Amino acid sequence: MKNFITLLFILSIFISLHAEVIQVEIPPMQVDTLVAYARFEDPEIEESSALIKSRNFTDLYWTLNDSGDEARIFPFNSQGEAYYPEWDNKRSEIRIPDAVNIDWESLAIDNQGNIIIGALGNNANQRRDLALYVIKEPVPTLANKTRVLKTIPFYYPDQNSFPPEKINFDCEAQFAAQDNYYLLSKHRSDRNTKLYRFDNLEPHQENELTLLAEFEIDGAVTAADASADGTMLAVLTYNNVWVFVAQNGDDFFNGEIYYKNISAKQCEGICFDGDTLMISNEQKELFRLPIDHLSKIK
């Protein structure tokens, strides 16, 4: 009996790490070439690689540069204009001296007033130092630096070799929903993405992610954001935008699904902004895409 229970336990782990890929049929549709309505004002924002809207302050957004930059994030308003501290009108960034920028790729924001910075970049799938940095959202007119509240190391439960045979453990997309943190993987060996959840947030140990689902996303995921109530998930790839509406908890891929083909250069940031999605690209441009412009495909 003991051996049978052990076998069932091993089988349940195998099934959880080899979930069936969820697929939907995408009808033919034209590509929507987005037109920028604004640009980032701050010249220090060279390659925007993330985008979030504050849930604490009106007309405040954040971004960060692609890999190779200092440990800093940038505040701006909806028109791309920088916020500066009251004593300095030249440097808008918020520096984080006790963090290390090793391929930062993403930002998320939760309902507790925290910004989550993702040290997620993993192009070669060989990193063993993946982590989230959690900070309290600063007031950009009153501060030019802040500190890390918590560093959360993590690893993928289904990665067993470094590098693996399939290069599917890069990540540029994270989001917070209903008091949980999540990641969406960026694949190079297929057209899928995997949804992972943080069920542990311990700062002094490696936290194993929980694999929830795999979805054929038809591209490489570069950003994601959840609505404030956690029921809607927006996902960005280089050539399309998806919105998933969860029917139960965080079962996003089995609810209603909306889709749009887009062209907007190298887009790597997306966030909800009322009934609109704000999108940014590495060329310093900002776009708006009304959610009702997406087509319902499920």
Predicted confidence band at 18 (pLDDT cuts at 50, 70, 90)? low
- State pLDDT tens for residues 214-229: 999 999 999 999 999 9
Average pLDDT, the chain: 93
pLDDT number for residue 126:
95
Q: At residue 15, does pLDDT exceed 60?
A: no
C-alpha of 285 from chain center: 18
Predicted confidence band at 17 (pLDDT cuts at 50, 70, 90)? low
Higher pLDDT, 71 or 7: 71
pLDDT number for residue 247:
86
| The domain made up of 2-296 is a member of CATH 2.120.10 | yes
Q: At residue 89, does pLDDT exceed 90?
A: no
Q: Assign residue 4 a region (left: φ > 0; alpha: ψ between -120 and 50; beta: otherwise).
A: alpha
Task: Give the 3-state secondary structure percentages of the chain, helix then strand then coil, rounded to 5.
Answer: 5, 40, 50
Of 9-23, 28-42, 171-185, the one with minimum mean pLDDT is: 9-23
Residues contacting 160, CB < 8 A, separation 6+: none
Nearest in space to 105 (alpha carbons), one of 237, 233, 269 = 269
Residue ranges per domain, the chain? 2-296
- State pLDDT tens for residues 108-117: 999 998 999 9
pLDDT number for residue 90:
85
Are 168 and 188 within 8 A, CB to CB?
A: yes
Cα-Cα-Cα-Cα dihedral of 196, 202, 203, 208, to 10°?
-40
Q: Where are the alpha helices (DSSP H) in the chain?
A: 2-17
Q: Tell me the sheet residues that pair with 236.
A: 223, 241
pLDDT number for residue 105:
94
In this structure, the strands spanning 207-208 and 150-155 are: parallel
- Give the C-alpha separation, 298 to 295, whole Å: 9
Q: At residue 5, does pLDDT exceed 50?
A: no
pLDDT number for residue 67:
74
Q: At residue 85, does pLDDT exceed 50?
A: yes
Of 2-11, 39-48, 256-265, the one with minimum mean pLDDT is: 2-11
pLDDT number for residue 19:
66
